[in-house]
Amino acid sequence: MKKTLFTTLLLTSSIFATVNVATTYNYLGEVTKAIGGDLVKVNVLGNPKLDPHFITPKPSLIGKLRREDLLIINGGQLEIGWLPPLLKSANNNKINSGGSGFLDVSGAVNMMDKPANVSRAYGDVHPDGNPHFAVSIENITPVAELISMKLAQIDPDNSSQYAMNFSVFKKHIEELQSKLEPINKGCQGKKLVQYHELFNYAISDLGAQKVGDLEPLPGITPSSKHTLELIKLIKNEKITTILQDVYHEKRTAQFIADKTGARVKIVPHDVGATDSSNTLDAFYTEIATQICQ
């Protein structure tokens, strides 16, 4: 009897000890699992196959947010179009912006493409800079460190465990980086075009160069005029690769490819966006392979 009681107590207390974490995107979920291990229970809100700007604010997400101890978001206004109404409905003060259980990881990263002039005349711009930093492996370690610090803050009893998991994670990413080096060599000086300003961090960190976007302005669908200009540019610059994400229409890229002989490469923007990018390792390997090879 005593033993049963003890076991029950132990079980309940271990359930209580778990930190419930929601992350807006899959890559944040993967990092949190790596840092938190068994100490956290992770719920990912956004489907990685969809446009991260426009996740459907499904009612089922409200119930999830209502229970969480910690919410980890990408930030840089990537979630502004879908997360605020969910947070308002869930009304969980712990995870509201400014609460102890709210973490915006964009603070760990040096954001690029910060616009000098912010106006919607330039399309759907992000005033704080390009929020798609997760596609560069260089940014994942600072993000993981920030997450480990936050977990230690809200669950101080296990802070040494989080710190230890982070150092394992850091080492693992370093190993992955050196494994990817031979692939990255293919990117040196390579010129590319992409659909949306989605892969800028990866392109820049891998040593390649972005020459154009299929969208005339961020968030504006390709126009025939812009597409024809792009075809001319691709021919002039002898560009061989068009980077396409999984969620935008693929006709325009295919049309340009047919006209110019360039190849369309599908690049994942999040862990799990493609069928072969289901882990952080596979994600960064696929990005490097698709962009550089």
Partner 1 sequence: MKKTILISVALSTLLLHATENSDLEKRVDSLEKVLNKQKQEKLKKALGGGNSFNQKSFIPDISLILSGSAVARNIDNNQYEGYGIDGFVERTDEIPFNKNRGFNLNYAEFGMHSVVGPYFDADAIFHLSPNEFEIEEAYITSKKLPVNLQLKAGSFKSGFGRINAIHQHAQHFTEQPLVYEAMLGVEGIKDAGVSLNWVAPTDTYLMVGSEALQGANELSFGKSSSNNLYVGYLKTGFDVGESTSMLAGVSVASGKTQNNRDSRLYGGELTLKHTIDSYSSLAWQSEYLYRDREDVKQAGYYTQLIYDKDSNWEFGLRYDALNKNSINQPDDLKKYAGIVQYKPFEFTKLRLQVDHDQSKSFGGIRKDENRVMLEFLVETGAHGAHAF
Residues forming the site for partner 1 (CB under 8 A): 47, 50-51, 54, 56-60, 62-64, 66-67, 80-86, 88-93, 96, 120, 123-124, 219-221, 247-249
State the nearest-atom distance from the C-beta of 79 to partner 1, in Å.
9
Contact criterion met (CB below 8 Å) for 151 and 35: yes
Which two three-digit tokens encode residue 228? 């024809």
Nearer to partner 1, 64 or 170 (CB): 64
Contact criterion met (CB below 8 Å) for 288 and 206: yes
Nearer to partner 1, 86 or 152 (CB): 86
State the nearest-atom distance from the C-beta of 257 to partner 1, in Å.
21
Nearer to partner 1, 91 or 160 (CB): 91
Q: To which residue do tokens 């869930």 refer? A: 90
**H/E stretch holding 264:** strand 263-266
Which two three-digit tokens encode residue 53? 């700007």
- CA proximity to 173, closest of 31, 43, 21: 31
The torsion region of residue 219 among left (phi > 0), alpha (psi -120 to 50) and beta comes to left
Nearer to partner 1, 120 or 232 (CB): 120
Which two three-digit tokens encode residue 156? 């101080």
What is the spatial distance between Cα 200 and Cα 209, in angstroms, rounded to a whole number?
9
State the nearest-atom distance from the C-beta of 6 to partner 1, in Å.
28
State the nearest-atom distance from the C-beta of 220 to partner 1, in Å.
6
State the nearest-atom distance from the C-beta of 134 to partner 1, in Å.
17
Nearer to partner 1, 6 or 54 (CB): 54
